[in-house]
Amino acid sequence: MFFLKLAAECIRLVNLEKDKNGDNWAKKAMVQCGIDVPRDGVWKIGQLEKRLAAWIMDMERRNICLSRELVTMKARELQAHLCDAWDLN
């Protein structure tokens, strides 16, 4: 459960990043991928992308300790894969 909470926090942080136009990742992801952010703007564990949650749970089963940076990198990788990566930069 710890790593799922960590992943939710990483997603929140990734979505706060802004591009040169001042648009954040959450806005672009919502428009391009239909990913929903709740009204309070806080990502919850249940909202994690299924592949990211599965990857985290697999790492936990293997007793692999995940850093915030590694989860963030995986979240970015999945986000780029799910959306148009060139449009997110």
Greater model confidence, 57 or 88: 57
State which amino acid sits at residue 45: I
Are 7 and 52 contacting, i.e. CB atoms less than 8 angstroms apart? yes
pLDDT of residue 78 exceeding 50, the answer is yes
pLDDT in tens, 12-22: 777 777 767 67
Say how many domains are in the chain.
1
Give mean pLDDT, residues 63-79: 85
For the whole prediction, is pTM greater than 0.85? Answer: no
Are 75 and 10 contacting, i.e. CB atoms less than 8 angstroms apart? yes
Which structural domain, as residue segments, surrounds residue 38?
2-88
Integer Cα distance of 55 and 15 in angstroms: 19
In our burial notation (b when 16+ CB lie closer than 10 A, e otherwise), range 33-51 reads eebebeeeeebeeeebbee
pLDDT of residue 7 exceeding 90, the answer is no
